[in-house]
Amino acid sequence: MKLIQTIPPRTPVDMPMMDASAVKRKWLDIDYTPQNPHPARKLDIYLPETGDGPFPTLICVHGGAFVGGAKDDDQVSGFVEGVAYGFAVVSVEQRLCAMQPGGGWSPEGRFPFPLHDFKAAIRFLRVHASEYKLDPGRFAAAGDSAGGWHAIMAAATADAPAMYDESLGFAGVDGRVQAVVDWFGCGDLFMEAKFNAEGSPTMTLPNGREVPRMIFEDIFLGVKCADYPGLARFASPEAWITKDLPPVLLQHGAADQIVTVECSRRLAKRINQVCPPGRVTFDEFPDYAHGDPRFRSDQNLERVFAWLREKLG
């Protein structure tokens, strides 16, 4: 039986939420940029039931096509199950391209601002590791869909000045992670925008709701990827892969109807080209759709956390 339960959505347009009440040791709604506060920059920390740590730590970020999602919605429940495997788990919330009341999308959630937020959270956690019983030498980033993009981008850009906002605090603190778990994440934004532009006029969300297909990558960049391919590729993980990339576990379904599996195929190929052998592990599931519940099955979680134990030591 899983530790984390699902709260059914209240209406057909809501996301299912996560019930983490069974996790007794936790801190919620921590402001991770106290020097530059923002209501969207919050995180939750969950610890295993016993032990004094320091615990290997999985720092996850939700999906939501860069426009929605929350740190306590059901998307992150599989990662938060890590507390049952001996991991501390942190769920991070960041700025989004949310729909504004008068129409249009909030510009503060455009690239690269949410990535700056997530990386600030990593630095905050490293500074406060002893306070929360975390092991600062064993950090892993994880995410699904848009969250997968954040996880791999945070690892690939690390302390690169072009992707670093010192105004969010903890300047000079090591922002690296030691492993990455990327579930059906966006890769090449130009290719992904093209995939959505050429797809069916509607798309089915993981909660079963059918909506008009949108090119979320254009919303995220604030311009059409088709018109600015250089910017789209600059904002893609493939552009930032170096030999220093930590170990990466990519998992993607070939039946994904929202983020093409070709994103992960190409990303795995690029990592293999640049990095030493064995740096990437790619699991392609032939019949999994986007957000398939089998990613959070006991069998797959056993695989994910065994892989993390191996890579983090």
> Strands 88-93 and 134-144: what pairing?
unpaired
> Strands 88-93 and 55-61: what pairing?
parallel
Q: What tokens appear for 102 in the block? A: 């008068």
What lies within 8 Å, CB to CB, of 35 at 6+ separation is 167, 168, 169
pLDDT digits (tens, 9 = 90+) for 188-234: 899 888 888 887 777 665 556 676 777 889 999 999 999 999 999 99
- Please state, as a whole number, how many other Cβ atoms lie within 10 Å of the Cβ of residue 246: 19
Q: What tokens appear for 180 in the block? A: 């990455």
Q: Which residue has the higher pLDDT, 58 or 1?
A: 58
What integer is the mean pLDDT of 252-261? 94
Q: What is the pLDDT of residue 89?
A: 98
Band the pLDDT of 13: cuts 50, 70, 90: low
| Strands in 78-236 per DSSP E | 88-93, 134-144, 179-183, 202-204, 210-212
> Rounded to an integer, what distance in angstroms lies between the CA atom of residue 6 and that of residue 296?
12
Fold adopted by 5-11+25-312: Rossmann fold (3.40.50)
pLDDT digits (tens, 9 = 90+) for 132-144: 999 999 999 999 9
pTM for this prediction: 0.95
Q: What is the pLDDT of residue 290?
A: 93
Q: Please, what is the average pLDDT of the chain?
A: 93
Band the pLDDT of 151: cuts 50, 70, 90: very high
- In this predicted structure, the answer to whether residue 277 has a pLDDT above a threshold of 80 is yes
* Boundaries of every domain in the chain: 5-11+25-312
